[in-house]
Structure 1
Amino acid sequence: MLRIFILTICVWSLALPVWSQNQISGVRAAPSGNKTRVVLEVSEKPVFTYFTLENPNRLVIDLADTSRKSNLSQANISGSLVKKVRYSTPKNPQSARIVIEMARKATPTLFPVEPDGAYGHRLVIDLQDPNPPPASVAPSVVLNADNNTRDRDIIVAIDAGHGGNDPGSIGRAGTYEKHITLSIAKYLEKLVNDEPGMRAVMTRNGDYYVALNKRPEIARKSKADLLISIHADAFTAPGPRGGSVWVLSMRRADTELGRWLERSERHSELLGGAAEVISDNASERYLAETILGLSMDHSMSTSYDLSRKVISEMKSVTQMHKSSPQAASLAVLTAPDIPSILVETGFISNPQEEKNLNWSTYRKKLASSMFSAIKSYFRQVPPDGTLWASQKMNNRTHKVRSGESLSLLAQRYNVKISSLKAVNNLHSDTVRIGQVLTIPRT
């Protein structure tokens, strides 16, 4: 009798409906350069699949074991790519189907983010926009009136690693990392300052120590658009060699953002005048959290995109120890409102690379490769209010057709070939069919 009772209970429990456990607590979307990031805030780790549809362009995401009670009409959406986020008919009663309606076709990349700091679980969707309109180029989500000066310079903060009583890594021949990094930083500083529309700020100009947390502070006080920290790697064995580029890990980023949110007296450093009208009640504090979160999303997206360009350029100078950007918890990269990258120029513990790094021509080439990447990136995605942004808005574009050449286009638009190559970051006279070129105004 007992066995029959237990069996009955088991069958009855299996027959009960399976209630959805995951909850969507918020949705936000904001453009960042040539991509738009959509973030779904969820209560549990998301289990998902997705596919795209055309005519009209949509991204469809199926979330397993997820409630559909959240009001998606309250999603915080900015930019021109994402038109709407809504529900659709799910695959089964226990799942949720989310549809992101897009103004044009975009390539999606989806990844979950673990909870940390002020945030819980998230599903991040990056929509790569192949042809972003000028209005969506590098919007600033940091509301700081001081940044609204028209046609200002793009400011690059250059951080020479170590210094003073901190020599950094020491090569087998006695080379100090702090001397190598300062030399490369000064070469890069000259390249930046020689470029019209750009200006360099150094975190240190000599052999003295600057605390790690002070370096991003220097960049912020200078209203920098980028912080690039220069280092030389080392290992216990002489074998490893090659460069690498690092960005802040998502986990450390969330922790830092949580610290900023808890320190309300520092909100004005990121929010400018907006901080004065944001009080400490729950709803307006959520507004601050949203703005700071979007700012961090923009900074990290920019950092990753720029890192890929730096790696591509450095390949022509040295072999790369890591072929893609690496993420780590690095104190110098923790500014939530400034795109920040750290460049390891090579292994000073490797005898050949130590020799190379002691060669001034080699250091100049490394600095030149970093500058080429920075210049190329900001030409494509100039920060709002800068001279380069103004120039881009006044420029035209041309899609290359069969039979057209660079010289033919220069003649047609009455511009110099050298100007065409410079504004499009072309290293040769070759153009390909379908390539979209920026035509500078004469």
Structure 2
Amino acid sequence: MKGYEKININNGINLMLIPRDNYKTNIVTVYLKRPLNREEVTKNSLIPSVLKSATVGYPNPIAIAKKLQDLYGSTIGVSVDKMGERQVLSFRMYCVGDMYLPEPVFEDSLAMLKEIILHPLTKDGGFIKEYVDIEKTILEEDIKSKINNKGHYAVEKCIENMCKQEPFSISEDGYIEDLGEIDEKSLYSHYKEIIETSPIDIVIAGSFDRDEIIETVKSKFNFERKELVKIDNEQIYKKPEASYITEEMDINQGKLVLGLRTNMDYKDEKYYNLMMFSAVLGSGAHSKLFLNVREKHSLCYSIYSSLEKLKGLMFISAGIEISDYDKALELISKELDDMKQGNITSEELTNSKKFIINNLKSLNDNLSAFTDYYYSMSIQDSNRTIDDVINLVSKVEISDIVEVGKEIYLDTVYFLTGKSNN
């Protein structure tokens, strides 16, 4: 069985259906895709929260909350994410399946989600100033607070330097310096533009009647559209020369991040060989980085590798003593070289497969994660099921891992260190 069914219902509006009868909750997520663009990224980041504040029919947060409570405790969440070189605005509605309630709420819940996205409360040609100002303040504080998580900050700075000539370097959260130029009228004008020109995906996961859902969505999301904004495919293939960047901050523990180009397209079946490469190298307590760099040499407090699948990047992140920079970099480089030379044991291969397969199976226990998995697949026009991926992972051999390792190149080494006494 396919993981999802995709149906075009309007110009650039697609409906994705993920039928699953083993959940009591249905999830409807509306995704608006934008290119990562420095000129609009901050405005895009503000819009979902502003829309969730007030609508024509429910003119304040209290009225919205009361309506959701009337829908048997349905909830709505909004977010802004980076998916490859796309900025994705999402609106997610959780509601109990109709079969578990004394009266149906699914259609009313969908209508409420439409109300929030398409019918915002306005005044004098703009959003309500009070709500825009509140969300601007919250966003500014959120951006400022990112520096408090030094590990996350270091990865973001590595990306910023590594991809400085590419859209991927742009922060999906936006920039504080843009906020002063944004007011309720300019933001509303931009909102109308993104509603009319953004590719939109409506993803419904859970238990539902297929034909009824299609007709309901078609009737509720049938509105005027213009020419869609163009979203280019990510630049994936690159053989860089490594650069080394050091930033000083008032900290006691250093944060080391290695950014690598994997030259692997997520659509390629060989991507799962790369997934195994990362798992053997640095995913979990069984990995080479954990056992050899952290445990054997006691050189770091934490260390792991991760993949940015849509952009084809790999990151190795470590929290280390500042004085151990050279030694840590040497040992991490040795583990990478060992991987590329095929110094991988059958035990490491088996443990890594179990780690990945268990993580994949756990997606079935969480409908939100399940939805995100298939939406991520759909972005690359793939419909591989979780079982498909488990099958591919199960077949990976050491020689496959060595093969993908030949195309992995170090791009950037970023080190967040303490302030010198000079």
Smaller-chain TM-score bracket:
under 0.3
Could you say which structure has the greater relative contact order, defined with CA pairs below 8 angstroms and 6 or more residues apart?
2
Larger Rg: 1
Q: TM-score, normalised by structure 2?
A: 0.25
Q: Normalized per residue, which structure has more helix?
A: 2
Q: TM-score, normalised by structure 1?
A: 0.24
